[in-house]
Amino acid sequence: MICICCPKGCHLVYDEKSGNVSGNSCAMGARYAAAEAVDPKRVVTSTVRINSSTAVMLPVKTNFAIPKHMVMKAVELLNDIEVQPPVFIGDVVYKNILGTGADFVCTKTVNE
């Protein structure tokens, strides 16, 4: 298993029986290995339409990682949204994605 927490990309080994993680170089890696073995999650980034004079698309991300198998479904939720400016980094664009509790938040400030 390769860690995706940072650019280093450590090779992790997760022992299912003991729950021990080896090969990691930080605590993030240990947490990642355990989660990846049981319930892999990903932060999803995408765009939504924005009704603005300066931009056509607004970049967004999930504010928490969501289960990997929900990624494609989550992105589809963005098809029907058009955002009105002004919006600021962190503003919620879509709440509670597929019941995960995570939201799509915007990652760019667009004033007008």
Partner 1 sequence: MYDVLIIGCGVVGAAVAREFSKYNISLAVLEAQNDVAMGQTKANSAIIHAGYDPETGTKMAKLNVFGNELTAKLCKKLNVSFKRIGSLVVAFDEYDQMHVNNLFSRGSANGIKDLEIWSREKCLKEEPALSNKVKCALYAPSAGIINPWEYALALAQTAVKNGADIYFDSFVTSIKKEQEYFKVSVLNGSSYYAKYIINAAGVHSDEIASMVSDNAVKIVPTKGEYYLLDKSQGTLVNHIIFQCPTEKGKGVLVAPTIHGNLIVGPNAEYTKNKNDTSTSASGLDYVAKMALKSVPDINFKDNIRNFSGVRANTLDEDFIIGESNTVKGFFNLAGIKSPGLTAAAAIAKEIVQICSQSGVVLERKDNFINERKVVSLKSLTADEKNKLISSDPKFGRVICRCETVTEGEIIAALSGVLPAHTVDGVKRRTNAGMGRCQGGFCSSRIVEIISSQLGIDPCEVLQDAQGSVILTKRTKSGDTV
Partner 2 sequence: MRHYQLAIIGAGPAGLAAAVKAYENGVKKILVIERDKILGGILNQCIHNGFGLHRFKQELTGPEYADRYIKMLNETSAEIQTDTMVLNITKERILSVISPLRGFENIKADAVILAMGCRERTRGAIRIPGSRPSGIFTAGTAQRYINIDGYMVGRRAVILGSGDIGLIMARRMTLEGAKVLACIEVMPYSSGLNRNIVQCLNDFDIPLYLSHTVIDIKGANRLEKVIAAKVDENRRPIKGTEMEFDCDTLLLSIGLIPENELTRACGIQIDFRTNGAYVYENMQTSCEGIFACGNVVHVHDLVDYVSEESEKAGEAAAKYILGDKTLNNKTIEIDAQGAVTYTVPQRMRCENIDKNLKVFFRVNKSIDKAKIIVSDYQKDIASFKKQYVVPGEMQNIILAKNQIENIRGDYITIRAEEIISE
Give me the residues that bind partner 2 (CB under 8 A), please: 2-7, 9, 42-47, 49, 54-57, 59, 61, 68, 71-72, 75, 89, 107-109
Q: Give how far Cα 99 sits from Cα of 34, 50, 67, 94, 102, Å.
A: 22, 25, 11, 11, 8
Nearer to partner 2, 17 or 21 (CB): 21
Local structure of 14: helix, strand or coil: strand
108 binds, among partner 1, partner 2, none (CB under 5 to 8 A by kind): partner 2
Q: 42 or 49, CB closer to partner 1?
A: 49
Under the criterion CB under 8 A, does residue 48 sit at the interface with partner 1?
yes
Sign of CA dihedral 23, 24, 30, 32: negative
Q: Are 59 and 106 in contact (CB under 8 A)?
A: yes
Is 6 a binder of partner 1 (CB under 8 A)?
no
* Contact between 61 and partner 1 per CB under 8 A: no
Say if CB 41 and CB 35 are below 8 A apart: yes
Binding residues for partner 1 (CB under 8 A): 47-49, 57, 76, 78-79
